[in-house]
Amino acid sequence: MKMELSEVIKELIPVWGREVIATPHVFIPLMEKDAFGGNRQMFDIFNEILHLGYTYNLLRLFGDYEWETKLANYEKNLCYQLNSNFDEHLIKFVFHSIARGIGLLNEPNRNNPLGDFDGLQIDEAIKRVIASEGKDVVLDLRLLYILDDNHAFIDDSQAKQVLHTMIELGYTKKLVDIGQWNKQAQSLYTQFISLQEVKKKYQKKQELISQIFQSIADGLGYR
């Protein structure tokens, strides 16, 4: 069975040291293990991540109490720099694989009770994650990573983008802070869709946005 990129990185670190991930020498063991499976784009993305300094930046996040915020910013900036040449999903896959391989992010547990979300409605997937991980999971991008790792967005990439924006702009935190599904909580939806950034990115997606707001509220046990 072919090893995933993150698993190959994890295996080479005891031999080569974690710092090898920030040097071109990393390609020697990666190519020996066929870590890219013949996918030239994955190789090129990894090369860009290395030469743009992101692998070095990832190493510096160990022990940094703001690592999650910085990791999310690195990902956002990286996608901005590379998405004119590469598929955004593949960029994030390679970036997350590096972060997992060096031990910054946990590997998704293939046998975890969450199961595979492929084919599951996004609202059900969100409920399942909150039930398993607790309400604090909605406060940062960990919710997005868990959903993505379990294939929740295969047929609904727009939902992923909406949820990412909600988390980044602090609207999931506002829901948690309110603590119930009342008029104040419901008004968050109106506030969110009134933002210029949201209007520009998600035209005619009010129904999807409403669904995600309600899914988070359901998962938190508010409704």
Domain spans, the chain: 5-101, 122-219
Question: What value, to the nearest 5°, has the Cα angle with vertex 3 and ends 112 and 19?
Answer: 100
Position 48 pLDDT exceeds 80: yes
Average pLDDT over residues 195-222: 87
For residue 35 the two structure tokens come to 């870590």
Computed over its alpha carbons, how large is the radius of gyration of the chain? 19
pLDDT at 116: 56
Using DSSP's 3-state secondary structure scheme, residue 212 falls into helix
Q: How far is 182 from 127, CA to CA, in rounded Å? A: 19
User: What is the distance between the alpha carbons of residues 207 and 217, in angstroms, rounded to a whole number?
Assistant: 15
State in Å, rounded, how far the first CA of the chain is from the last one. Answer: 44
Confidence of residue 117 (pLDDT cuts 50, 70, 90): low
Residue 88 has pLDDT above 90, yes or no: no
pLDDT at 139: 82
